């Protein structure tokens, strides 16, 4: 593929890279303080522009830092399939973003372009952004990058991350960019899933993290009310993005988000994150305690529901369909035992990051994955969908097909997750019964800064450390002191830190084990600041 490198040089000069800034494409793309990112976003615009031109289809860029503080921003790159960027191109993105001089940048870009051939049909890059004040300027930088390599741009403005993925996917099928298609798909699928349900349903109270999800849910409130779902929205834009609210805050801190502590016991509540690709549920116990229903609980509820639908499909259907749940090391051990021992389903463990879970889930006819943080979806193989479409219609078959339409087949979607869980609760599973599927082992997560997080390498889906030498032995010795103990340490994929997870038979023991493992990591890996 031929490029006008002189024009690229001129365009790139408007977006100089800050000195010593070395961004890397992590498990969720690039993230940093927003003022550092114009050069990175411009260069990724060039990258995704080349990809779009080479495949002759639309690709995507979402400008967001998800659950990070408002002053941060970032971007996620999207394939023509609507799925996340393929790993081989992540390395190209990092190389481009880290090039220190114009000569290095042009050299990396020209080398990549030389491996590509332009398609017969023109490509396009669809750009979306969340509600951060820095988003519009960064989207403009991305557009400039796409234009510098001869690509076309469609900027669709403020959208959720899953909406951007959906739009890329549907544009390549139908050549349409109307937002209403996303809403119609959600509403009609939800209508099918709740058809015939007469169970009285309490309102669903939703913490919107003061993010883009609030804007989209506000548009859906009237239509959902007609379908029997009353949404009450909180943190809907009045406060700071992700500050004291949002799915990440609720799941990590295990406490009520701002403005929702006074709800009555037993209220059904959910929290989404800043770009609306994560959701967790919670309620208040009769004693006023905070009760979390995290991504593990959502996966279990979805598995129970899908197994029920399959059992009511035409005879023999369920026997010929593989159904599995994909988890990470962060999944609570009680959830794994419930899925394998009570439901009899396969469980596979992958590295942290939805790109790994998504890939593994595609191996099943019905693949369910939700990280503990609430990021996930339900995938149905195209071959299974064709089989279902060819069957005689019955309600279970129609609802299985509706699940595949409701649950984003490219990426996790908080709004989809909200609606699926509400539909299941209407189908005969109460909130109390959902809570009682299994009892989580008490757990604790800690984060600590070390001199170099890369000194820790892992194996066994990040559950065991390979380096530095002796670290895993020390962790094993600590775990052995605690009843039902389990712990691991892994380098963060999104920030310069090490994450520690521990669970045990009591909360006091889990907290103590987490602190002990964090202390081990601090001592052996050059901890910065105060020892945990």
Structural domains in the chain, sorted by start: 5-178 (3.40.120.10), 183-291 (3.40.120.10), 295-435 (3.40.120), 443-524 (3.30.310.50)
The response to whether 277 counts as a known ligand-binding position is yes
Q: The tokens of 426 are what?
A: 């209407």
Whether residue 201 is predicted with pLDDT greater than 80 in this model: the reply is: no
Sheet bearing 486-491, strands edge to edge: 443-448, 498-503, 486-491
Nearest CA-CA partner of 324 in 378, 384, 399: 378
Q: Is pTM beyond 0.85 here?
A: yes
Whether residue 118 is predicted with pLDDT greater than 80 in this model: the reply is: yes
Q: pLDDT grade, residue 492 (50/70/90)? A: confident
Percent of the chain with pLDDT over 70: 99
Nearest CA-CA partner of 250 in 340, 413, 374: 374
Whether residue 13 is predicted with pLDDT greater than 90 in this model: the reply is: yes
Q: What is the mean pLDDT of residues 205-210?
A: 98
Task: Supply the pLDDT for residue 353.
Answer: 87
Q: Residue 318 carries which DSSP code?
A: G
The pLDDT tens digits of the residues spanning 495-514 come to 778 999 999 999 999 999 99
- DSSP H helical ranges for 464-503: 471-479
The response to whether 405 counts as a known ligand-binding position is no
The response to whether 492 counts as a known ligand-binding position is yes
Answer positive or negative: Cα dihedral of 368, 369, 374, 378.
negative
Answer positive or negative: Cα dihedral of 354, 357, 362, 368.
negative
Q: The tokens of 397 are what?
A: 């078959």
The pLDDT tens digits of the residues spanning 161-197 come to 999 999 999 999 999 899 999 999 999 999 999 998 8
Average pLDDT of the chain?
95
Q: What is the mean pLDDT of residues 54-77?
A: 97
* C-alpha–C-alpha distance, residues 28 and 295, integer Å: 18
Task: Supply the pLDDT for residue 200.
Answer: 61
Q: 495 or 468: whose pLDDT is higher?
A: 468
Question: Element (H or E) spanning 458, and its range?
Answer: strand 457-459
The response to whether 491 counts as a known ligand-binding position is yes
Task: Supply the pLDDT for residue 444.
Answer: 92
Identify whether the C-beta of residue 258 lies closer than 8 Å to the C-beta of residue 236: no
Q: What does DSSP say about strands 152-158 and 124-129: parallel, antiparallel, or unpaired?
A: parallel
Whether residue 366 is predicted with pLDDT greater than 80 in this model: the reply is: yes
For every residue of 100-157, DSSP letters joined together read: -SHHHHHHHHHHHHHT----SS--EEEEEE-S-TTHHHHHHHHHHHHHHTT-EEEEEE
Mention every residue, 6+ apart, whose C-beta is less than 8 A from residue 258: 234, 235, 239, 243, 244, 245
Task: Supply the pLDDT for residue 474.
Answer: 97
Whether residue 158 is predicted with pLDDT greater than 90 in this model: the reply is: yes
Task: Supply the pLDDT for residue 248.
Answer: 95
Find which of 41-45, 199-203, 317-321 is predicted with most confidence, using mean pLDDT.
41-45
Our answer to whether residue 66 is catalytic in this structure is yes
Task: Give the SS3 label for residue 202.
Answer: coil
Percent of the chain with pLDDT over 90: 89
Q: What is the mean pLDDT of residues 259-284?
A: 97
Q: 290 or 252: whose pLDDT is higher?
A: 290
Task: Supply the pLDDT for residue 493.
Answer: 73
Q: Residue 247 carries which DSSP code?
A: H
The response to whether 422 counts as a known ligand-binding position is no
Cis amide prior to 349 (ω within 30 degrees): no
* C-alpha–C-alpha distance, residues 364 and 456, integer Å: 32
Q: What is the mean pLDDT of residues 460-485?
A: 96
The response to whether 66 counts as a known ligand-binding position is yes
Q: pLDDT grade, residue 198 (50/70/90)? A: low
Mention every residue, 6+ apart, whose C-beta is less than 8 A from residue 162: 276, 277, 408, 410, 411, 412, 413, 414, 415, 416
Q: pLDDT grade, residue 305 (50/70/90)? A: very high
Q: pLDDT grade, residue 45 (50/70/90)? A: very high
* C-alpha–C-alpha distance, residues 226 and 268, integer Å: 19
Q: What is the mean pLDDT of residues 511-522?
A: 96
Task: Supply the pLDDT for residue 389.
Answer: 93
Whether residue 215 is predicted with pLDDT greater than 80 in this model: the reply is: yes
The pLDDT tens digits of the residues spanning 77-105 come to 999 999 999 999 999 999 999 999 999 99
* C-alpha–C-alpha distance, residues 60 and 126, integer Å: 5
The response to whether 394 counts as a known ligand-binding position is no
Asked which of 209-223, 401-415, 454-468, 492-506 is least confident by mean pLDDT, the reply is 492-506
Whether residue 235 is predicted with pLDDT greater than 80 in this model: the reply is: yes
The response to whether 483 counts as a known ligand-binding position is no
Whether residue 473 is predicted with pLDDT greater than 80 in this model: the reply is: yes
The response to whether 271 counts as a known ligand-binding position is no
The pLDDT tens digits of the residues spanning 15-36 come to 999 999 999 998 789 999 999 9
Task: Supply the pLDDT for residue 400.
Answer: 97
* C-alpha–C-alpha distance, residues 372 and 390, integer Å: 36
Q: Which of 54, 66, 404, 416 is catalytic?
A: 66
Q: The tokens of 78 are what?
A: 């999207």
The response to whether 371 counts as a known ligand-binding position is yes
The response to whether 373 counts as a known ligand-binding position is yes
Q: The tokens of 417 are what?
A: 């997750």
Task: Supply the pLDDT for residue 276.
Answer: 98
Neighbouring C-alpha atoms within 13 Å toward the C-beta of 504: 25
């Amino acid at each position: 593929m031929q490029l006008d490198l002189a024009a690229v040089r001129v365009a790139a000069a408007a977006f100089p890279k800050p000195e010593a800034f070395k961004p890397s494409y992590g498990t969720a793309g690039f993230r940093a303080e927003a003022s550092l990112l114009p050069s990175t976003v411009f260069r990724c615009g060039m990258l995704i522009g080349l990809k779009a031109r080479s495949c002759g289809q639309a690709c995507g860029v979402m400008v967001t830092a998800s659950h990070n503080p408002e002053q941060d921003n970032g971007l996620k790159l999207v394939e023509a399939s609507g799925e996340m960027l393929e790993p081989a191109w992540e390395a190209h993105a990092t190389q481009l973003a880290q090039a220190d001089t114009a000569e290095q940048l042009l050299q990396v870009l020209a080398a990549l372009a030389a491996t590509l051939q332009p398609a017969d049909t023109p490509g396009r890059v669809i750009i979306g952004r969340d509600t951060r004040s820095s988003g519009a300027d960064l989207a403009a930088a991305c557009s400039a990058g796409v234009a510098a390599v001869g690509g076309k741009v469609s900027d669709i403005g403020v959208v959720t991350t899953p909406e951007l993925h959906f739009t890329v996917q549907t544009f390549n099928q139908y050549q349409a960019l109307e937002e209403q298609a996303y809403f119609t798909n959600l509403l009609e699928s939800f209508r099918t899933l709740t058809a015939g349900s007469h169970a009285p349903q309490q309102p669903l109270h939703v913490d919107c993290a003061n993010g883009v999800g609030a804007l989209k849910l506000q548009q859906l409130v009237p239509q959902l009310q007609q379908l029997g779902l009353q949404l009450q929205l909180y943190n809907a834009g009045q406060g700071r993005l992700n500050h004291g609210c949002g799915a990440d805050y609720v799941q990590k801190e295990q406490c009520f988000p701002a403005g929702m502590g006074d709800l009555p016991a037993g209220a059904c509540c959910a929290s989404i994150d800043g770009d609306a690709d994560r959701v967790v549920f919670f309620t208040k116990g009769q004693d006023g305690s905070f009760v979390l229903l995290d991504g593990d609980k959502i996966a279990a509820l979805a598995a129970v529901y899908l197994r029920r639908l399959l059992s009511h499909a035409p005879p023999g259907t369920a026997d010929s369909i593989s159904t599995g749940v994909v988890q990470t090391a962060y999944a609570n051990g009680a959830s794994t035992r419930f899925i394998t021992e009570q439901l009899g389903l396969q469980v596979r463990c992958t590295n942290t990051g939805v790109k790994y879970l998504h890939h593994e889930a595609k191996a099943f006819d019905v693949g369910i994955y939700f990280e503990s943080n609430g990021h996930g979806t339900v995938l149905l193989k195209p071959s299974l969908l064709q089989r279902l479409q060819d069957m005689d219609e019955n309600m279970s078959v129609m609802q299985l097909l509706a699940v595949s339409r409701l649950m984003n087949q490219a990426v996790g979607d908080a709004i989809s997750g909200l609606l699926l869980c509400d539909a299941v609760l209407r189908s005969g599973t109460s909130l109390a019964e959902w809570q009682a599927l299994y009892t989580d082992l008490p757990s604790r997560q800690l984060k600590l800064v070390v001199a170099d997080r890369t000194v820790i390498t892992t194996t066994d889906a990040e559950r065991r450390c390979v380096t530095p030498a002796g670290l895993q032995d020390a962790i094993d010795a600590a775990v052995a002191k605690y009843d039902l103990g389990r712990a691991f340490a892994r380098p963060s994929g999104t920030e310069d830190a090490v994450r520690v997870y521990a669970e045990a038979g009591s909360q006091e023991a889990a907290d103590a084990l987490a602190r002990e493992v964090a202390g081990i990591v601090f001592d052996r890996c050059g901890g910065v600041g105060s020892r945990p």
